[in-house]
Amino acid sequence: MARAGDRSISKAKPSSRRSGAGSGSASAPRRKGGAAVRLGRGQDPPRRGGPPKAGKRGPLGGVSVPGLIGDPLITQFIAFLRIECGLSRNTLLAYLRDVRDFLNDERLGLVVAEVGARERAEGRGEAAGRPDSERRATNDTALVARLGALSPKDLSDYIASLRSARKLSGSSVIRHLATLKVFFRFLVATERLLKNPTDHLDRPTRWRKLPNVMTPRQVNALIEATRGERVKPGRSEEPGAQEPASERRATQDTRAAGGTRATEGRNATIALRDRAMLELIYACGLRASEVCTLNIDDIKREAGVIIVTGKGDKQRMVPIGKPALGAIGEYLRAARPRLATGRSGDTLLLSRSGRALERVAVWQLVKKHARRAGLDKVHPHVLRHSFATHLLAGGADLRVVQELLGHADIGTTEVYTHVDRSRLHEVIKKHHPHG
User: What positions carry a catalytic annotation?
Assistant: 287, 311, 381, 384, 407, 416
Tell me the three-class secondary structure of 227-294, residue by residue. HCCCCCCCCCCCCCCCCCHHHHHHHHHHHHHHHHHHHHHHHHHHHHHHHHHHHHHHHHCCCHHHHHCC
Contact 316, 326 (CB under 8 A): no
Contact 288, 381 (CB under 8 A): yes
Residue 328 CB: number of other CB atoms within 10 A?
26
Q: Of 2, 5, 6, 9, whose CA–CA distance to 383 is shortest? A: 9
Q: Which amino acid is at 32?
A: K
Q: Of 225, 109, 221, 216, whose CA–CA distance to 158 is shortest? A: 109
Which residues, at least 6 apart from 99, have a Cβ–Cβ distance to it below 8 Å? Answer: 68, 74, 77, 179, 183
Contact 106, 71 (CB under 8 A): no
Which residues, at least 6 apart from 216, have a Cβ–Cβ distance to it below 8 Å? Answer: 390
